[in-house]
A and B are shown apart, each in its own frame.
Chain A
Amino acid sequence: MADAVLTSHPAAGVEPFGPRPRRVFSRRNIFLYGTLIMVSLYYLLPLYVMIVTSLKGMPEIRFGNVFAPPLEITFEPWVKAWSTACTGLNCEGLSRGFWNSVRITIPSVIVSIAIASINGYALANWRFKGANIFFTILIVGAFIPYQVMIYPIVIILREMGIYGTLTGLVLVHTIFGMPINTLLFRNYFASVPEELFKAARVDGAGFWGIYFRIMLPMSLPIFVVAMIIQVTGIWNDFLFGVVYTKPETYPMTVQLNNIVNSVQGVKEYNVNMAATLLTGLVPLIVYFISGKLFVRGIAAGAVKG
């Protein structure tokens, strides 16, 4: 009779024990991994084409084998894109645009995050009079299309005497980054237990004391999230860059556009590809360095407690 008990599971022939058996090539796995591989290819193929093209010389490109790896690797196009590519009259390459972008991005990111985090902290923890109205206005601000505000801002900057300067563009980026970042920080700080804030008040910490000594050290992940959003957003910006600056102060994206779209002579695809990759490098590096913190920050903001 004992045998009958042991073979009571006719399908497998064994008594179920431990984890359920899983087949590697199940229909589910094939579908899942098949989809993932397809999607990855779809996104990675253009990048691959760009990289190989940027490493080829012009004669090789004329053969027309877009997907073929370079026969002879050359970094000439990268050097040209960085230092000698021409936009209109001057031929300094992307390097000037790069430094302009750095000078725009760094102050914009620092100032906008500093202000937005204080805004979010005040809105979440110090329920001052009119806080809700202020917050509503800020959120509505996030939904107004940029194009509507372009011309009024031109006039405002002109009246302030900073139209066409980097300061003007920094100011514009700071203001436009405010709604989304304030929302981000407010929600994060609102998820910090209220009793912590109360305890700090009983301990005699004031507005700034609580912000710097309690809230700030607890919220590194959300600062990283805000930093990534701001760095990529401002670095990749084209519209504000082209409207509010002059040729000497063009950011990298505008200069890239001018290089790629210049109509004199032959189209140097390898230089264009190299220039594009160079421009995209900064956000890419930021993602790779802080990707883990980014995910942690997003999750921390989303889940209460």
Chain B
Amino acid sequence: MTSVLVKDLSLSFGAVEVLKKLNLDVQQGEFVVLLGPSGCGKSTLLNCIAGLLDVSTGQIFINGKNVTWEEPKDRGIGMVFQSYALYPQMTVEGNLSFGLKNARLPREEIAKRIARAAEILQIEPLLKRKPAALSGGQRQRVAIGRALVRDVDVFLFDEPLSNLDAKLRAELRVEIKRLHQQLANTMIYVTHDQIEAMTLADRIAVMRGGLIQQFDSPQAIYNKPVNRFVAGFIGSPGMNFLEGSIAAGPAFSADGVDVPLARYDFTATPVAGQKVSFGIRPEHVALNSGADWPFSARVKVDVVEPMGSDTLVWTKLGSHNLAVRVPTERMPASGDTVDIGFDPMRASIFDSGEGGRL
């Protein structure tokens, strides 16, 4: 069942078109992450769904009801903000109850809901404190609680973890995932952090320039990006790109490199001579494996970047830089000559012009 449906949504601020006829279909109980670089319109889209921004054209449905003209409070949403946005003069309890008092709920009902939210989020000892007396992680928990007590179907998160340090972020990430499993609400989560997106999402919508580039499961987005932007944006360290063209066979050929593409799963028919980008992730390239790969080469190691568990080994394939990710215990030294190999089945090939996947 559809929970949130965005239909041909556009939004312009003056001459600047932030969202361009955007469509999004979120299923009941789904965790959807809106992911993209700064200024791609992901927060704007979330604000439109929340009703905090008026749309220029298009419609928004929540649980089958057209809410395009509704006030935020009438949309059945709860929202969590990056800066927590707790009311500084109220206690935690006051913060949690503010929305419920505005909705004129009976006192016992308010107390019941606060107790439940406090228990789920383990903030019971904090109820009488002011936000200033809380740590960043506690504040964000209270902010989530404020959405929780509203007892709504859809949760909206606007970069909720961006203000926290790396350790707390990892902790709260797991907690949000646990919360989603427990509540089974629809959640829409905006972030520019791809780790958050990959770990939390049922589906990721990768956005750029006010449009959704790809809306699919994290695995599909990681393994089969639909265009060069998505391929380059997802994955850290990023995908290697070799610029060249399609040769007969079919094969990929760039200066001095020829990759047979017999095992590659083309989505479009390649034309010989077509200019393409050949993308392969650093972790899909094997180093000194001794196995027989469809493509292999002998290269010299330029630079070695140990990152703890993994090491990034920079080599040159023809004139292109190529990063290879290897376990740190098998790290070569710079200047070594090594054998690399990969299976083109794991690669992604994009048209050089429009960037679409072939």
Interface residues in chain A, defined as those with a beta carbon under 8 Å from any beta carbon in chain B: 193, 195-196, 198-205, 209, 213-214, 217-218
B99 within 8 A of A: yes
B146 within 8 A of A: yes
Residues of A within 8 A of B150 (CB): 203
Number of interface residues of B (CB under 8 A): 25
Known interface pairs A204-B73, A217-B89. Does A199 touch B79 (Cβ–Cβ under 8 Å)? Answer: yes
State which residues 79-124 of B face A: CB under 8 Å.
79, 81-83, 85-89, 98-99, 102-103
Task: Assess the A198–B79 pair: CB atoms within 8 A.
Answer: yes
Residue in B82, B89, B99 whose CB lies within 8 Å of A203 = B99
Task: Assess the A193–B85 pair: CB atoms within 8 A.
Answer: yes
B32 within 8 A of A: no
In the assembled complex, the Cα of A204 lies from the Cα of B52 at a distance in Å of: 12
Task: Assess the B52–A202 pair: CB atoms within 8 A.
Answer: yes
Contact sample, A vs B, 8 pairs, CB 8 Å cutoff:
A195-B82, A196-B87, A199-B81, A199-B87, A201-B72, A203-B98, A204-B71, A204-B73
Task: Assess the A195–B89 pair: CB atoms within 8 A.
Answer: no
In the assembled complex, the Cα of A267 lies from the Cα of B304 at a distance in Å of: 95
Interface contacts beyond A202-B99, A209-B102: sample of 4 additional A-B pairs, CB < 8 Å, sorted by A: A195-B158, A196-B87, A201-B51, A201-B71
In the assembled complex, the Cα of A217 lies from the Cα of B94 at a distance in Å of: 13
Instruction: Tell me the minimal C-beta distance from A173 to chain B in angstroms.
Output: 31
- Which 6 A-B pairs have CB atoms at the shortest separation, nearest pair first? A203-B99, A204-B73, A204-B102, A195-B85, A199-B85, A195-B81
State which residues 43-78 of B face A: CB under 8 Å.
47, 50-52, 71-73, 77-78
Residues of A within 8 A of B82 (CB): 195
Task: Assess the A218–B52 pair: CB atoms within 8 A.
Answer: no
Task: Assess the A205–B88 pair: CB atoms within 8 A.
Answer: no
Task: Assess the A213–B77 pair: CB atoms within 8 A.
Answer: no
Residues of A within 8 A of B83 (CB): 193, 195
Task: Assess the B146–A203 pair: CB atoms within 8 A.
Answer: yes
Residues of B within 8 A of A195 (CB): 81-83, 85, 158
Residue of B nearest to A197 (CB): B85
Instruction: Tell me the minimal C-beta distance from A248 to chain B in angstroms.
Output: 45
Task: Assess the A198–B99 pair: CB atoms within 8 A.
Answer: no
Residue of B nearest to A205 (CB): B102
Interface residues in chain B, defined as those with a beta carbon under 8 Å from any beta carbon in chain A: 47, 50-52, 71-73, 77-79, 81-83, 85-89, 98-99, 102-103, 146, 150, 158
Residue in A193, A202, A217, A218 whose CB lies within 8 Å of B78 = A202
Residues of A within 8 A of B51 (CB): 201
Residue in A198, A200, A218 whose CB lies within 8 Å of B89 = A218
In the assembled complex, the Cα of A198 lies from the Cα of B71 at a distance in Å of: 12
In the assembled complex, the Cα of A158 lies from the Cα of B127 at a distance in Å of: 59
Residues of B within 8 A of A202 (CB): 50, 52, 72-73, 77-79, 99
Residues of B within 8 A of A204 (CB): 71-73, 99, 102-103
In the assembled complex, the Cα of A280 lies from the Cα of B233 at a distance in Å of: 68
In the assembled complex, the Cα of A195 lies from the Cα of B158 at a distance in Å of: 10
Instruction: Tell me the minimal C-beta distance from A50 to chain B in angstroms.
Output: 43
Residues of B within 8 A of A193 (CB): 83, 85
Residues of A within 8 A of B99 (CB): 202-204
Task: Assess the B73–A201 pair: CB atoms within 8 A.
Answer: yes
Residues of B within 8 A of A218 (CB): 88-89
Task: Assess the B73–A198 pair: CB atoms within 8 A.
Answer: no
In the assembled complex, the Cα of A252 lies from the Cα of B88 at a distance in Å of: 42
In the assembled complex, the Cα of A218 lies from the Cα of B88 at a distance in Å of: 8
Instruction: Tell me the minimal C-beta distance from B70 to chain A in angstroms.
Output: 12
Residues of A within 8 A of B88 (CB): 218
User: Among B50, B99, B103, which residue has the most Cβ atoms of chain A within 10 A?
Assistant: B99
Instruction: Tell me the minimal C-beta distance from A193 to chain B in angstroms.
Output: 6
In the assembled complex, the Cα of A200 lies from the Cα of B85 at a distance in Å of: 9
Instruction: Tell me the minimal C-beta distance from A205 to chain B in angstroms.
Output: 5
In the assembled complex, the Cα of A10 lies from the Cα of B89 at a distance in Å of: 57
Residues of B within 8 A of A213 (CB): 87, 98
Instruction: Tell me the minimal C-beta distance from B11 to chain A in angstroms.
Output: 15
Task: Assess the B52–A201 pair: CB atoms within 8 A.
Answer: yes
Residue in B50, B71, B87 whose CB lies within 8 Å of A200 = B87
Residue of B nearest to A216 (CB): B89
Instruction: Tell me the minimal C-beta distance from A62 to chain B in angstroms.
Output: 61
Known interface pairs A205-B98, A205-B102, A209-B102. Does A214 touch B78 (Cβ–Cβ under 8 Å)? Answer: no
In the assembled complex, the Cα of A67 lies from the Cα of B8 at a distance in Å of: 83
In the assembled complex, the Cα of A292 lies from the Cα of B311 at a distance in Å of: 58
Task: Assess the B146–A199 pair: CB atoms within 8 A.
Answer: yes
In the assembled complex, the Cα of A202 lies from the Cα of B150 at a distance in Å of: 10
In the assembled complex, the Cα of A193 lies from the Cα of B98 at a distance in Å of: 18
Residue of B nearest to A198 (CB): B52
Task: Assess the A198–B85 pair: CB atoms within 8 A.
Answer: yes
In the assembled complex, the Cα of A41 lies from the Cα of B81 at a distance in Å of: 54
Task: Assess the A214–B81 pair: CB atoms within 8 A.
Answer: no
Residues of A within 8 A of B81 (CB): 195, 198-199
In the assembled complex, the Cα of A201 lies from the Cα of B150 at a distance in Å of: 13
In the assembled complex, the Cα of A121 lies from the Cα of B231 at a distance in Å of: 45
In the assembled complex, the Cα of A196 lies from the Cα of B88 at a distance in Å of: 9
